[in-house]
Amino acid sequence: MHKGHYISGTAHLALLGWMAFGDVFAAEPLPFQATDVSVISSAQFDALMAAQQAPQSVTEVAQPAAPEAVVDTPQPPVPDTETELVQPDPAVTPEAETPPDVSQITPLPPPADVSDQAPVLDQPSADIAVLVPEVADTPVPQAAERVAPEAVQPPDPEALPDPVEQEAVAPDAQGETLQEPSDATAPEAAATEIVTEAEQPARAPDTSLRPPARRPEAPVQTAAAAPQVPATDDAVDAAVEEAVAAAQTPAPVPQGPPLTGGEKDALRVAVSSCWNVGSLSTDALATTVVVQVSMMPDGKPVNGSIRMASSSGGSDAAARQAFEAARRAIIRCGSRGFDLPPEKYGQWQEIEMTFNPERMRIK
């Protein structure tokens, strides 16, 4: 009955005893710093104090003794003693080398059997797809275009530098149409300015593209069933007329979006490279002409359509010279077709070029 009380009392006593004698409440000693103190004797203390006293002034200063005059008598130079020439030993002629013994040399191994047949490689399994990152992680330095570290081979001497690119035409005895031979020409590799490697943008993107979000697939548009119309003579006639009309009307000109700045710049650079103002008079160099030209879908100008829309800054004669130079530029560089996007033909079917030679006057 009192067993629980005994157990509880014993436990409490044990706990109280452990708390009293078990260093439970003993505080940790506070940290302190000890410093060594040296003990000195009184004699040492006196000596120490004496050293700290101010020095007594001394009135008499010992004068330095006058330096003794030393007569520097130069010693007569010692005559050089002749050094005996050491005769070099006569060169020892090497003994004639004995010819190496070639009897021990084994003959070369027979040449390896080389076959012209390429080894047949196993076709890789089509199931394994190798993902190649399209863009390098780090910027890849590009080779500078203009200044190469080492000389490159000269271009084909047959190709004469010319803005108009054309292939060489060689006489062909078997051909039916007789074509006169001509030299191949190619435009000179040149740029309007030197772009160093440092100025070119790296190909690696600065930021990665955001992954595309999941979108529901667009619903497939299905055409509604055409109403069944009984075939009558009128309907047939109408269909025939429509087909004939469609055949007669020309194909619609693709309009497309407006030309980008880059596409316009390409056209501008192409015409500029053939616009030779070197032979223009000073009056013509002060004349701005506006030239209109119609273009064919293949990018070639219609030569007969080149006309001067307006001119400013010079006399009629000067305007005519300036227009002729502009016309030569359009025809020469357009003979192979300008690089214009065919899907935007409607945008460049008619081109109006303003030739302004203001910056070319003094160069």
Partner 1 sequence: MRFQTAIGIAALVLYVLGAGWAQAQSSGPLRIEITEGVIEPLPFALPVFEAETGDAGSYAGQISQVIAADLTGTGLFREIAPSAFISGVSSFAAPIQFADWKAINAQALVTGAVSVQGNRLNVKFRLYDVFSGAEMGSGLQFTGTTDGWRRMAHKVADAVYSRITGEGGYFDSRVVYVSETGAKDSRQKRLAIMDYDGANVQYLTDSSSIVLAPRFSPDGQRVLYTSYETGFPRIYVLDVGSVQRRVLESQEGTMSFAPRFAPDGRTIVYSLSQGGNTDIYAMNINGGGVTRLTSAPSIETAPSFSPDGSQIVFESDRSGSQQLYVMPARGGEARRISFGPGRYGTPVWSPRGDLVAFTKQNAGRFHIGVMRLDGSEERLLTASFLDEGPTWAPNGRVIMFTRETQGAQGRSTLYSVDITGRNLRPVRTPEGGSDPSWSPLQP
**Three-state SS for 352?**
strand
Pick the closer one to partner 1 by CB: 104 or 282.
282
Site string for partner 1, 140-179 (x = CB under 8 A): ----------------------x-x-x-------------
In this chain, which stretch among 48-56, 79-87, 114-122, 274-282 interacts with partner 1, using CB under 8 A? 274-282
Chain centroid, CA 180 distance in Å:
44
Q: Does 186 bind partner 1 (CB under 8 A)?
A: no
Pick the closer one to partner 1 by CB: 324 or 337.
324
Contacts of 319 (CB under 8 A, 6+ apart): 284, 287, 289, 308, 311
Q: Does 276 bind partner 1 (CB under 8 A)?
A: yes
Q: How many residues bind partner 1 (CB under 8 A)?
A: 59
* Structure tokens belonging to residue 203: 């190909």
Q: Does 328 bind partner 1 (CB under 8 A)?
A: yes
Minimum distance, C-beta of residue 230 to partner 1, in the bound complex (Å): 41
Q: Does 258 bind partner 1 (CB under 8 A)?
A: yes
Distance CA 285, CA 6 (A): 125
Distance CA 293, CA 274 (A): 16
Contacts of 70 (CB under 8 A, 6+ apart): none
Q: Does 310 bind partner 1 (CB under 8 A)?
A: no
**Three-state SS for 320?**
helix
Q: Is the dihedral angle over the CA atoms 200, 202, 207, 212 positive or is it negative?
A: positive
Q: Is the dihedral angle over the CA atoms 158, 164, 167, 169 positive or is it negative?
A: negative
Minimum distance, C-beta of residue 162 to partner 1, in the bound complex (Å): 5
Q: Does 105 bind partner 1 (CB under 8 A)?
A: no
Distance CA 188, CA 194 (A): 15
* Structure tokens belonging to residue 224: 């509604």
Q: Does 194 bind partner 1 (CB under 8 A)?
A: no
Indicate which single residue of 187, 281, 286, 308 sits in contact with partner 1 (rule: CB under 8 A): 281
Residue 90 is classified by DSSP as P
Q: Does 301 bind partner 1 (CB under 8 A)?
A: no
Q: Does 277 bind partner 1 (CB under 8 A)?
A: yes
Pick the closer one to partner 1 by CB: 67 or 175.
175
Q: Does 303 bind partner 1 (CB under 8 A)?
A: yes
Return the residue matching tokens 């803005």.
163
Q: Which residue type, as a one-letter code, is found at position 136?
A: A
* Structure tokens belonging to residue 260: 């980008």
Pick the closer one to partner 1 by CB: 144 or 315.
315
Instruction: Give me the residues that bind partner 1 (CB under 8 A), please.
Output: 162, 164, 166, 180-183, 185, 192, 255, 258-259, 264, 267-268, 271-284, 292, 303, 317-318, 320-321, 324, 327-329, 331-332, 335, 346-360, 362-363
